[in-house]
Amino acid sequence: MNTPSREIPYPNPLPGIPMLLLGIVLLLTLVGIPVGILVLVGLTLVNPNQSKVVVLFGTYRGTLRQAGFFWVNPFSVRRAVSLRAHNFNSEHLKVNDLRGNPIEIGAVVVWRVRETAQAAFDVEDYESYVEVQTESAVRHLASTHPYDTPHDNETSLRGSSDAINTELQQELEQRLQRAGIEVLEARLSHLAYAPEIASAMLQRQQAEAIIDARTRIVEGATSMVQMAIEHLERGSVVELDNERKAQMVSNLLVVLCSERGTQPVVNAGTLYG
């Protein structure tokens, strides 16, 4: 594995204005024209939030990060590397989630160059590298989580957005470290079932929601019935045999679990009439 390049500051760049004046003066003299041209070629301008990576005869000499007008060796090659924050909005990718369901997913990544030497030398094109690695990370993220889940303790793409965004950012930071890229923010920008199964999955989600709600209702109703019988027996309000307990349990469950309001029936006779 190749050792990653390390950024170093360019050693002692000369101020550009005096060298510009020197170059102009030399151009005015016939003998000094070649030297004047070399002086002018060495001038370089660094704008705010920009940098210049300086290479001399195939050797990395350093990076100019400070904005200003400078003079460097005229035989050097200077490559501009932006230090500004960039936005990358990925295309809507069609992938399969953990359960094999086809989904459409996309992400937005905010990034900037942290190490100019790595961005310039360790990858062919750092902007293209960000795009490819982002799409790869989004595909991997989608394949390791379900689109949705009824379980509270399971991470899903739709129901756990904060956790998913954090996981995406961490994976991108690892992938882009080789290129000296810092990930400022990463989040999903698009998430939907693929059109061919969207209608069927909507019905499935509705059915799962109904089942989950019914399960909670039954659990609550069972607990309330048990509590009611225990209170009646503890307070000696009434003594019930097993048959009457079963009938009471059945009636209470109907009342508690019914979707519509129930109509009470008053028994005017004896308990066993």
What would the pLDDT profile of 231-260 be if each residue is shown by its tens digit? 766 666 566 666 666 766 666 666 656 655
Same domain, 99 and 189: yes
- Alpha carbons 234 and 232: distance in angstroms, whole number: 6
Same domain, 78 and 107: no
Number of domains in the chain: 3
161 Ramachandran zone, left/alpha/beta (phi>0; psi -120 to 50): alpha
Same domain, 93 and 168: yes
Q: Does residue 265 belong to any structural domain of this protein?
A: no
Same domain, 94 and 162: yes
Of 38, 58, 82, the last residue of a domain is 82
Query: What are the structure tokens assigned to 213, written together?
Result: 């709600």
Higher pLDDT, 152 or 98: 98
Q: Does residue 262 belong to any structural domain of this protein?
A: no
Same domain, 246 and 175: no
Residue 53's pLDDT is 96
Same domain, 22 and 92: no
Same domain, 113 and 189: yes
Q: Write the CB contacts of 140 (distance below 8 Å, at least 6 apart in sequence).
A: 171
Q: Does residue 7 belong to any structural domain of this protein?
A: no
Of 58, 82, 106, the last residue of a domain is 82
Residue 266's pLDDT is 45
Range of the domain at 131: 86-193
Summarize pLDDT for 79-95 with one digit per residue, the tens.
Answer: 999 999 999 999 999 99
Residue 63's pLDDT is 95
pLDDT band at 31 (very low <50, low <70, confident <90, very high): confident
Same domain, 173 and 107: yes
Q: Does residue 94 belong to any structural domain of this protein?
A: yes
- Alpha carbons 155 and 163: distance in angstroms, whole number: 8
Q: Does residue 181 belong to any structural domain of this protein?
A: yes
Same domain, 100 and 50: no
Same domain, 29 and 78: yes
Same domain, 187 and 216: no
Of 175, 193, 211, the last residue of a domain is 193
- Alpha carbons 76 and 78: distance in angstroms, whole number: 6
Q: Does residue 2 belong to any structural domain of this protein?
A: no
Residue 166: which CATH number? 3.30.479.30
Beta-strand runs (E) in 59-164: 59-64, 68-71, 77-82, 86-89, 93-96, 102-113
Summarize pLDDT for 163-201 with one digit per residue, the tens.
Answer: 999 999 999 999 999 999 999 999 999 998 887 765 666
Q: Does residue 186 belong to any structural domain of this protein?
A: yes
Higher pLDDT, 66 or 148: 66
Same domain, 96 and 131: yes
Summarize pLDDT for 12-21 with one digit per residue, the tens.
Answer: 899 999 999 9
Q: Does residue 264 belong to any structural domain of this protein?
A: no
In the predicted model, is pLDDT for residue 214 greater than 50?
Answer: yes
